[in-house]
Amino acid sequence: SQKIEQNSEALNIQEGKTATLTCNYTNYSPAYLQWYRQDPGRGPVFLLLIRENEKEKRKERLKVTFDTTLKQSLFHITASQPADSATYLCALWTYNQGGKLIFGQGTELSVKP
């Protein structure tokens, strides 16, 4: 069956450390993988996109890697801040899913001062 799995437990880290979030998928062949941030009671906000033929993408303190052999994406936030506390969602886009973005269940990140 098709699955997208993110860190099931909430992630608690100290301010200034690097947060690493995992997105694993099964029985999908994503052409694109997107990461979104969602604050409680708000809509998701797009952060980064990576294509199937890209290994790594960076934007300021954010870095995404994509390994199609391992079927995994890692999302890193360096020099984390309490303001980074939120739920982070990975989302796959595949041609054979009819153009739909399929979301993982999200990982809740808490950065303590």
Contact residues toward another protein (CB under 8 A) are 30-32, 34, 41-46, 49, 51, 89, 93-95, 98-101, 103-106
In one-letter notation, the amino acid at residue 62 is: L
- Cβ neighbours around 98 below 10 Å, total: 6
- In Å, what is the CA distance from 80 to each residue of 16, 36, 95, 103? 5, 16, 34, 24
Shortest Cβ 96–another protein spacing (Å): 11
Dist. CA 107–CA 38, nearest whole Å: 10
For another protein, give the closer residue by CB, 13 or 47. 47
For another protein, give the closer residue by CB, 49 or 74. 49
For another protein, give the closer residue by CB, 40 or 113. 40
Decide if 108 contacts 9 (C-beta within 8 A): no
Shortest Cβ 103–another protein spacing (Å): 4
Shortest Cβ 106–another protein spacing (Å): 6
